[in-house]
Chains A and B, each alone.
Chain A
Amino acid sequence: MMATMAIPQQKTAIETIDLSVAYNGKPALRGVSLAFPENAVTALIGPSGCGKSTLLRALNRMNDRIPNAEMTGRVLLKGRDIYDRRINLTRLRREVGMVFQKPNPFPMSIFENVALGPRLHYGLRGRALQEVVEDALRKAALWDEVKDELSKSGLALSGGQQQRLCIARMLAVQPQILLMDEPCSALDPISTQKIEELITELGKQYTVIVVTHNLQQAARISHYTGFLMYGEVVEWGETRQLFERPARAETEDYIHGRFG
Chain B
Amino acid sequence: MMDTVRSGMARAGGWESLAAQRDARRARTNALLMGAFGAVGLATVLLVLALVAIITYHGAPTLSWEFLTQPPREGMSAGGVGPMIFGSVLLMLGAFLMATPLGVFGGVCLAEYGERSRLMRLMHASVAALAGTPPIVYGLFGLAIFVLKFHFGVSLLAGWCTLTLFCVPSIVLITESALKTVPAALTDGGLALGLSRWQTLWRIALPYALPGILTGVILSLGRAVGEATPVLFTASVYYSTAETTLSWETLRQPVANLPYYLAEGYRQPGVVPERLIWGACLTLILLTLLLNAGAILVRYRMRRRYL
- Chain A positions within 8 Å of B, measured between CB atoms, are 60, 62, 65, 67, 89-94, 97-98, 100, 102, 104-109, 116-117, 120-121, 153-155, 166, 169-170, 173
Contacts and interface: CB of A to CB of B under 8 A. Distances in A.
A65 B191 contact: yes
12 contacts: A90-B194, A93-B192, A94-B193, A100-B185, A100-B188, A104-B183, A105-B189, A108-B306, A116-B193, A120-B199, A154-B306, A173-B193
Given A67-B116, A155-B307, A104 B194 contact: no
Contacts of B307: 107, 153, 155
B306 A117 contact: no
A153 B307 CA distance: 7
A66 B282 CA distance: 54
Nearest to B184: A65
A92 B183 CA distance: 24
- The size class of the interface chain B forms with chain A is 20 to 34
Interface stretch (B143-151, B203-211, B252-260): B203-211
Q: Is the interface of B mostly helix, strand, loop or mixed?
A: helix
Give the top 10 A-B pairs by smallest Cβ distance, nearest first. Answer: A93-B194, A94-B194, A104-B185, A98-B192, A153-B306, A104-B189, A107-B306, A90-B194, A117-B193, A107-B307
Contacts of A90: 194-196
B186 interface: yes
B94 interface: no
B267 interface: no
Nearest to A101: B185
A153 B305 contact: yes
A150 to B, nearest CB: 13
Contacts of B186: 104, 106-107
B204 A62 contact: no
A233 B244 CA distance: 79
A170 B204 CA distance: 16
Nearest to B195: A120
B190 interface: yes
